[in-house]
């Protein structure tokens, strides 16, 4: 008779504790998710818009990540681009992403924005005005995805290649080149 | 002295002109130029388990070599256009030959057989795990197209057409080049920028 209420009391305490913990956990998660939720904007553009960003970033190093939702190596390496942004923004690195997806298709735009939001791409994000046409690749002077370009502090363009130009640029090469241009 | 320098003045520009003409690299291909002899890919096995050599197509007017693969969404979008090209130009002696040099997931020989059967490819789909053919052609992306003339010289190289979305194509580069070649003319456009997924070359 006496034991039961005691047990109940403990149960209540336990319940209360777990509730408090749950609330704390929830609020904790809430804070971190709102921290990560950077307002991502997607701007339709071409070389002129990209050049404008480079011009506005005078004295800084600009890293451009050309990617597309259909390019699986691009998606795989994108988190690394976000890391570089977080790591080197204070050292003068400006990161820009250019999606070579079809900018006129609202569904694809949603996919692009969804991916960028998930990645936490808190930098300038362009989507190619001419979609994934030959003209778009021509305009940006690129052929294959993924593709990375660095503009040095003087605004000069350097297309990143691996030691064997036929091979893709790895995150290691990306790290080396970014560090190299930031030190200049 | 005067005549010697005069000679230099006269000859030097000519020499420079010859040098510049002979050694101008292609705009989008660092290995091969238009007019170069097509590299011989040796003997490659197709999804039909037959072996194909370039010399096997001796009776064909033109050969359209397409470096493609199973997994690149851009290349996949062009499969239908390759089938249509073979169908439309078959009677005119045009032969499409597709080569896959990627060996990553989804690009093995068995997967290629499945794709060829599913899509009912009406052209050979060859597997080159050594990747040498693509290196010799200077192919960088899938799809990357090379039209070879009757002498098996490169007559056109680059993109199949100017838009991945078939409904938006304005310039049918490959078809136009083929039409002009079949008319006995040199294609007006011999090289355009290839675009797509980078070929995954081995170390």
CB contacts < 8 A, A to B, total 64
Query: Is residue B52 within 8 Å of B44, Cβ to Cβ?
Result: yes
Q: Are B193 and A145 inside 8 Å of each other by CB?
A: no
Q: To probe the interface with A, which of B198, B199, B201, B202 has the most A CB atoms within 10 Å? A: B198
pLDDT tens per residue across span B6-65: 555 555 555 444 444 444 458 999 999 999 999 999 999 999 999 999 999 999 999 999
pLDDT greater at residue B196 or residue A21:
B196
pLDDT at B7: 53
Are residues A30 and A83 located together in one domain of the fold? no
**Angstrom distances, CA of residue A14 to CA of A5, A73, A83, B123, B137:** 14, 49, 41, 71, 72
Over residues A106-116, the pLDDT tens digits come to 999 999 999 99
Residues A151 and A99 in one domain: yes
Question: Phi/psi class of residue A126: alpha, beta or left (left: φ > 0; alpha: ψ in -120 to 50)?
Answer: beta
ipTM of the complex: 0.83
Query: How many Cβ atoms sit within 10 Å of the Cβ of residue B84?
Result: 13
Comparison of pLDDT for A156 and A183, the residue scoring more: A156
Check whether A126 has a pLDDT greater than 90.
yes
Interchain CB contact of B193 with A (< 8 Å): yes
Looking at the structure, do residues A26 and A56 belong to the same domain, yes or no? Answer: no
C-beta of residue A126 within 8 angstroms of C-beta of residue A54? no
Confidence category of residue A167, pLDDT binned at 50, 70, 90: confident
Q: Which of A141, A143, A163 to mutate to test the interface with B (most CBs of B within 10 A)?
A: A143
* Crossing angle (nearest 10°) for helices B79-89 and B173-182: 20
- Residue B2: pLDDT band (50, 70, 90) is very low
Burial of B58 per CB tally in 10 Å (0-12, 13-18, 19+): exposed
In this complex, the residue of B73, B162, B200 whose CB is nearest that of residue A135 is B162
The closest alpha carbon to B11, from B21, B25, B3, B1, belongs to: B3
Model confidence over B55-110: pLDDT tens digits? 999 999 999 999 999 999 999 999 999 999 999 999 999 999 999 999 999 999 99
Q: In this predicted model, what pLDDT tens digit does every residue of A21-38 receive, in sequence order?
A: 444 443 333 333 344 566
Task: Spell out the domains of chain B, with CATH numbers in brackets.
Answer: 31-198 (3.40.30.10)
**A132 to chain B, closest Cα gap in Å:** 6
% of residues, chain A, pLDDT over 90: 71
Q: Do residue A141 and residue A159 come from a single domain? A: yes
Q: Are residues A72 and A152 in the same domain?
A: yes
What pLDDT score was predicted for residue B5? 53
Q: Is the same domain home to A56 and A25?
A: no
Range of the domain at A5: 1-37
Predicted local confidence at residue B70, as pLDDT: 97
Number of Cβ within a 10 Å radius of residue A54: 18
Q: Are residues A109 and A32 both part of a single domain?
A: no
Q: How confident is the model at residue A125 (pLDDT cuts 50, 70, 90)?
A: very high
pLDDT-based confidence at residue A168 (cuts at 50, 70, 90): confident
Chain B contact for A166 (CB, 8 A cutoff): yes
Q: What's the average model confidence in pLDDT over B176-192? A: 98
Tokens describing residue A9 = 């009391």
So what's the pLDDT on residue A4?
45
The answer to whether residue A76 neighbours chain B at the CB level (below 8 Å) is no
Provide the b/e sequence for B156-189 (b: ≥16 CB within 10 Å). Answer: bbbbbbbbbeeeebeeebbbebbebbeeeeebee
- Looking at residue A132, its pLDDT comes to 87
Pick from B163, B160, B159, B165: which is nearest to B193 by CA?
B159
Catalytic residues of A: 71, 74
The per-residue pLDDT for B10 is 56
Q: Which of residues 100-119 of A touch B (CB under 8 A)?
A: 102
Examine the domain organization and report whether A29 and A74 are in the same domain: no
In chain B, the residue whose alpha carbon lies closest to the alpha carbon of A135 is B162
Q: How far is CA B30 from CA A178, B23, B105, B162, in A?
A: 26, 12, 28, 21
pLDDT class of A52 with cuts at 50, 70, 90: very high
Distance in angstroms (rounded) separating the CA atoms of residues B173 and B155: 12
Number of structural domains found in chain A: 2
> Does residue A176 sit in the same domain as residue A139?
yes
A78 and A11 housed in the same domain: no
| Mean predicted lDDT score pLDDT of chain A | 84
Q: Residue B144 has what pLDDT? A: 98
Report which of residues B26 and B4 the model is more confident about. Answer: B26
CATH code assigned at A139: 3.40.30.10
Same domain, A13 and A74: no
pLDDT at B17: 46
Residue A61 phi, psi dihedral angles, 5° rounding = -100, 130
Q: What is the pLDDT of residue B12?
A: 53
Cβ of A144 within 8 Å of Cβ of B197? The answer is yes
Whether A82 and A138 map to the same domain: the answer is yes
């Amino acid at each position: 008779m006496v034991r039961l209420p005691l047990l109940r009391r403990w149960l209540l305490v336990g319940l209360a504790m777990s509730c408090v913990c749950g609330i704390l956990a929830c609020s904790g998660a809430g804070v971190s998710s709102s921290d990560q939720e950077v307002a991502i904007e997607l701007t339709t553009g071409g070389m002129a818009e990209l050049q404008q960003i480079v011009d506005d970033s005078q004295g800084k190093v600009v890293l451009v990540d050309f990617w597309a939702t259909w390019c699986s190596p691009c998606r795989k390496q994108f988190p690394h681009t976000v890391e570089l942004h977080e790591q080197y923004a204070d050292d003068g690195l400006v990161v820009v992403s250019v999606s070579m997806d079809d900018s006129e298709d609202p569904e694809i735009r949603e996919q692009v924005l969804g991916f960028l939001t998930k990645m936490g791409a808190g930098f300038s994000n362009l989507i190619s005005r001419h979609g994934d046409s030959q003209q778009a690749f021509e305009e940006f002077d690129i052929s294959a995805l993924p593709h990375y370009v660095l503009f040095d502090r003087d605004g000069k363009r350097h297309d990143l290649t691996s030691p064997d130009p036929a091979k893709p640029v790895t995150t290691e090469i990306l790290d080396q080149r970014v560090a190299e241009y930031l030190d200049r | 002295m005067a005549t010697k320098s005069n000679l230099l003045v006269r000859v030097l520009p000519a020499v420079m002109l010859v040098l510049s003409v002979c050694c101008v690299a292609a705009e989008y291909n660092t290995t091969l130029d238009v007019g170069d002899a097509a590299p011989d890919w040796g003997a490659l096995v197709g999804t039909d388990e037959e072996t194909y050599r370039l010399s096997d197509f001796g009776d064909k007017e033109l050969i359209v070599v397409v470096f493609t693969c199973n997994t690149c969404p851009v290349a996949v979008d062009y499969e239908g256009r390759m089938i249509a090209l073979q169908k439309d130009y078959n009677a005119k002696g045009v032969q499409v030959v597709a080569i896959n040099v990627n060996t990553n997931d989804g690009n093995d020989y068995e997967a290629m057989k499945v794709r060829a059967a599913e899509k009912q490819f009406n052209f050979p789909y060859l597997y080159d795990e050594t990747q040498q053919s693509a290196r010799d052609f200077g192919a960088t992306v899938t799809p990357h197209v090379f039209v070879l003339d009757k002498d098996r010289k490169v007559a056109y190289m680059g993109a199949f057409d100017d838009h991945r979305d078939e409904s938006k194509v304005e310039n049918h580069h490959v078809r136009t080049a083929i039409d002009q070649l079949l008319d006995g003319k040199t294609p007006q456009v011999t090289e355009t920028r290839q675009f797509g997924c980078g070929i995954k070359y081995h170390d």
